[in-house]
Amino acid sequence: MKNIFLLVFFTISVGYSQSEEEAIIALLEKESATWRSGDVKAHADCWAIKPYGRILVSTQEGSSIDVPPASMLDPPANMMGNGGTSKNSNYKMNISGNNAWVTHDEESTSKDGVTTYTYEMRILEKIDGQWKLVGQSIHPRKPE
């Protein structure tokens, strides 16, 4: 009986974790696609602006840019919607209750065919039953 309980508990735990991981990955894929397509409303829906939220972007030259998170809701003209595609891979995440952090690699190809590669760390919170981004850090990398 004890072994059956442990098996059921383990199965429920793994299933819950997998569904949360799938929901987070779906959100991150949506966020990437809506950024490139210029769908401001759908992109903004991926984010929750918090007073502690932050977006840090490293440049190829070694400096960094501190992007105001509010720009994810109302981006300046020409900041998004420039087309292209992206492919995320190598997801690693830690989910603890309503908080999660995720790292992944991204390969982005512009509509002109230029490909860039980044390491990304995303900070998420589950708000009203939905995962939302509250912060991120993006760093360029060389392809393997």
Q: Where do the domains of the chain lie, and which CATH numbers do they carry?
A: 2-140 (3.10.450.50)
Mean pLDDT value across the chain: 89
Residue-wise pLDDT for 55-102, tens only, equals 999 999 999 999 999 999 988 888 888 899 999 999 999 999 999 999
Q: How buried is 66 (Cβ within 10 angstroms: 0-12 exposed, 13-18 middle, 19+ buried)? A: exposed
What does the pLDDT read at residue 11? 43
pLDDT at residue 14, as a whole number: 44
In whole angstroms, give the CA distance from residue 48 to residue 133. 6
Q: What is the pLDDT of residue 137?
A: 98
Q: Is 55 exposed, middle or buried (0-12, 13-18, 19+ CB in 10 A)?
A: buried
pLDDT of residue 94: 98
Cα–Cα distance for residue pair 116/93, rounded to 1 Å: 23
Instruction: Give per-residue pLDDT as tens, 117-127.
Output: 999 999 999 99
Average pLDDT value for residue range 16-23: 82
How many angstroms separate the CA atoms of 34 and 50, rounded? 21
